[in-house]
Amino acid sequence: MADVVSDEKRLEEAERAFQRGNYKEMKRLTSSLAQSEAQTIRDKAGVLAQRTAIDPVQLRVVLACLLFFLVVAYKYVF
């Protein structure tokens, strides 16, 4: 029970760190909360960590733009 209360406080700290923009601290706290005994704490920490994860759609768009740039550069420069 004491561990769950401590995990709740660390989750609150992680949420405050996220709101302040301190993502490094938030990621450190949420990664340690991934091993929490309480399922709800693990779920909330996972959701919070996902909010700072790389968006897969954005990654695909950037890669497509890079590929387009390389094709254009190859055609007109080389």
- Structure token pair of residue 27: 């990621």
On whether the CB atoms of residues 14 and 29 are closer than 8 A, the answer is: yes
Kindly tell me if the per-residue pLDDT of 73 is higher than 80.
yes
Q: What are phi and psi of 38, to 5 degrees?
A: -85, 125
The mean predicted confidence, pLDDT, of the chain is 93
pLDDT in tens, 35-58: 888 999 999 999 999 999 999 999
Distance CA 25, CA 14 (A): 7
Number of domains in the chain: 1
Question: How many Cβ atoms sit within 10 Å of the Cβ of residue 4?
Answer: 13
Residue 37: domain span: 2-77
